Amino acid sequence: MALRSAHELAGQLAKGAVTSEELVRRSLAHIKATEPRLNAFVTVMEEQALAAARESDKRRAAGQTLSPLDGIPVAIKDNMNTEGVRTTCSSRMLEQFVPPFSSTAVRKLQDAGLVVVGKTNLDEFAMGSSTENSAFGRSANPWDTDRVPGGSSGGSAVAVAGGQVPLALGSDTGGSIRQPASLCGIVGLKPTYGRVSRYGLVAFASSLDQIGPMTVDVEDAALLLGTVAGHDPLDSTSADVPVPDYAASLRSFDWKGRRVARPKEFFTGEGLDPEVARCADAFLEKLASLGAEIVDVSMPHLKYSISTFYIVATAEASSNLARYDGAQYGFRAAGTKNIIEMFSRTRAQGFGPEIKRRVMMGTHVLSAGYYDAYYNKAQKVRTLIKRDYDRALEKADLVAAPTSPFPAFLAGSRMDDPLAMYLCDVFTISLNLAGYCGLSLPSGFTEGGLPIGMQLMAGAFEEEKLLGAAWQLEQALGVAGSRAPEIAGASA
Ligand code: GLN
């Protein structure tokens, strides 16, 4: 299937030019043709998808479509529960786990008539930035299969960038939607904390996790966010804030007279690749040419983002992952003599090395002797980081930054150096600590033809403004929707 946006496909469905069953068959055929190279999926749901597509076609014939996206194929990151379909988190621990219920986000997609075609690969339990930490092998970047797609929602990014599906859901705890979107040349949106229900999303760091759209263009991100957003009584942290018609208001945003903050901490530094830096300058120039005013600001606490995140997130992860002990969920080590041995062997065999590192760090920062020095202090720094955003957003409507300090890197090049991997998120992680929303927009290419994404960020529940701003810019940049060349020839 060609890399076409969902809104175009929806138009064809509405005209009767194509059926949902045809779209799903094309998607499944393209998945089959490209998976040997891409490995975007952990589970492909061929039969369920075809059955759901036929239901959609029946509804359409009866004039009873459920939403503008009824009949459109979608892929789901494999850390969102899907009733009756295994949900692995790309971990041996959950390799055979079949949940008895669906996450709210998935249920909302199905209630809107979308067709789930499969579950995508990720870094185990969403910990990582390259989709190499997976019990099911690494996913490959469709622009250059020797390179990583980013992570942890790498499978979802690959599925969209590789033209396997037009839409996917990812989750973003420290950058896991935006960074792979940037490395794969697609749009990725991390909504405000509380905008999308986390019910049924397997928890990594509960105060940071958010589900969001990964799409070919901004209009699709607006449509997909509108479908999954909203209050959910099953998630006490989901916000009771009305969901605007994001797609309808895209065209009414005007950049003229808008102010964009340019935090110097995001645009300087040794780690910033020169080609990304050039793209960032061109991005700001484009904004100025649309009538925006660029405001220089400083966000002095951003330099503590990585350390703060790796205290808060590991603390929460060590608590959330305590449930995987062989007693209730998933894998249990065989032949153990007593319950302590069962717990420890189950964890030793079921978790990969990065998970063990995180659980140990998290347990350490929460332990009685170190709690004040680490966890408590990190919570205070988190507040300071949020205040940096509040100050920048007092002076400006939006904040701009590169999404990733570098384009897609070679597989294997960062796996032996955890810190080098953690630094992939240096521009994305602070937004999760603040709880606000941000979007990565395809903004240019390296000389070698790798995509580069730039980020726009806004305050709490300002997704409508964020999407409108990104849509206008997308028209001016003309980069979104570009096809990954590696995969173009394999189109079914
Ligand atoms: N890369 C970060 C980590 O490994 C963030 C991952 C995420 O957003 N899920 O924890």
Q: What is the pLDDT of residues 469-490, one digit of tens each?
A: 999 999 999 887 777 775 654 4
Which atom in ligand 1 lies closest to the alpha carbon of residue 177? Answer: 8
- Taking alpha carbons only, the member of 324, 319, 315 closest to residue 349 is 324
| pLDDT attached to residue 484 | 78
Q: Is 175 in the pocket of ligand 1 (CB under 6 A)?
A: yes
Residue whose CB lies within 8 A of the most ligand 1 atoms, among 78, 198, 403, 425, for a mutation test = 425
Give 268's pLDDT tier (boundaries 50, 70, 90): confident
pLDDT of 241 over the 50 cut: yes
Which atom in ligand 1 lies closest to the alpha carbon of residue 429? Answer: 5
Give 45's pLDDT tier (boundaries 50, 70, 90): very high
Percentage of the chain surpassing pLDDT 70?
Answer: 98
Residue whose CB lies within 8 A of the most ligand 1 atoms, among 127, 312, 427, for a mutation test = 127
3-class SS of residue 474: helix
Is 176 labeled as catalytic in the residue annotation?
yes
Count of alpha carbons within 13 angstroms of residue 391, beta-carbon side: 15
Per-residue pLDDT tens for 273-310? 999 999 999 999 999 999 999 999 999 999 999 999 99
Q: Is 181 in the pocket of ligand 1 (CB under 6 A)?
A: no
Name the average pLDDT for the chain. Answer: 96
pLDDT of 2 over the 70 cut: no
| pLDDT attached to residue 356 | 98
Measured in residues, the chain has a length of 492
Is 377 labeled as catalytic in the residue annotation?
no
Which atom in ligand 1 lies closest to the alpha carbon of residue 171? Answer: 9
Per-residue pLDDT tens for 324-341? 999 988 999 999 999 999
pLDDT of 90 over the 60 cut: yes
Task: Report DSSP state, residue 259.
Answer: E
Burial class (CB in 10 A: 0-12, 13-18, 19+), 274: exposed
Decide: 50 and 22 in contact? Cβ < 8 Å.
no
Provide the whole-model pTM: 0.97
